[in-house]
Structure 1
């Protein structure tokens, strides 16, 4: 530190307090030369505070402007280039992974091993539906049309199964998303407008959220869940299907949410989500469809192919108005010869047949053996 003031060049003394510049010059000044009063000097000397003289303040301002116009622009450009390189590397990696998966499928087919639905899920199988809009057309006619439009050998489209569906449709299980896109593109180009070609999305697991203290729209609830819960923010899929009040407390609401498999498992383990200031409980909501015509599972009555009407209360063939039974009887457990049959076909807590089928469904849903 110099012994004279950087402004008046006079020596320092006890009667003339001084202040040191924390800027480029590192000079000291009499406080009255730079307009600093004693009260302000006490504040400036607090640890962590800095004081700059007029010249250093101007130089600092010029330096910050130069940095912003030159260096900051270069850094942003460098970050953009790095991001582009990362995106390109990620795309190449995904192509390699897809090729590896397809190669794995080919090896299993060549070795004669069966491809279970669980393995199909693991290998990114995508279901494509080809369906005619003309009533009465057979599955064979549809198959002939799709073969004329898309030759799987010439187009190198790989699929693992072709399944007949109702109304003359075909469900084609492609071995990858790339093959599915290629199939849908070629079929849409060569088939007339009388055919519908689209991807069939696999079912996602569902969760029930209980303890929401206010009613809101489905979109508002979705936005809150995404904004407040990092698990859902990073989720590939999240859809709020329903929001309604609980029976016990009309002022408390519950919701059904459709999520992807990893998010489902993480939220069940976590046990709760945040909605505004509510910590809401999370429960498993994966269930099976129950047909009230044949008492079967995995379909509803409007899509039931059975010609028999089975009353869900007593498992007998008659109309509801004709039933005089007072004790429930599950038709599914009767047919499966389970000892306990006195419960409803949809009772997930009592019906062993329902429980067994639900376990099988979850194995399919999560791709487990």
Structure 2
């Protein structure tokens, strides 16, 4: 070995070598230098992984927020006023039918008599629907039962000689709010709820209706309470669109209180897992495993996926099957509500 090669070998940190004729290490490994080198590489690798993870987390959060905004906008755009048939079948708000005793009279004349005798502004009425009916009648929808009652009294007094005044009771949905830090007096809950709804409602001179049916502690935390409320249609729409309401300093999440049977096997409705004949599906990602085994970061509603058609690529699947804003869930709830109110 030449002196140049020996000098070069001695200058390389961490290099171990030995003579060919013996089995003795002439230059042992530099453990301190090697450990520092490995620790540096380990730290560099962790920093790179953390950077990639933070980027993926940020991108996923951004995409999720964008998808939820699209879903909310889609639901908002799809909200349409209730048809006249729903008013007549007690599906939505309170209503009155003013029907002439003269069966050959037109609805136009009936409406003229109503206008001449009852002013919506003077009577402080918030009308939600005015529609001609058969035999010259007119149906009028109201935001609350109080308004309907005021109209009925005035119509009976001023038009009762020539007209029949029929009351149509509107269906009042139920809402469950969760997150109360204490068991409030019923009047406390209704006062806070009515104040919040009045602030967020665009209906002129609106008077909310709310009644507390029940309060009880949650199963997971006995110090947290939930309440079952019966409200009018406008209050229901405002609270469910907001997703919650402040009761005092407690922000309470709001849920539709119609009791639905949901299958924990396939995530479908109106049957239990014991009688389910479908294959198992995850409520988060839609694949054939239980939610406890799911590691997916992408939401994919299995119920919406089953209804997806080839010509509807715009259908939004980026939500869990248990999401209360799921189009399938909303459709099932509406169907249940119509059955209960018939």
The TM-score with structure 2 as length reference comes to 0.32
Q: Could you say which structure has the larger radius of gyration?
A: 1
The TM-score with structure 1 as length reference comes to 0.30
Higher relative contact order (CA 8 A, sep 6+): 2
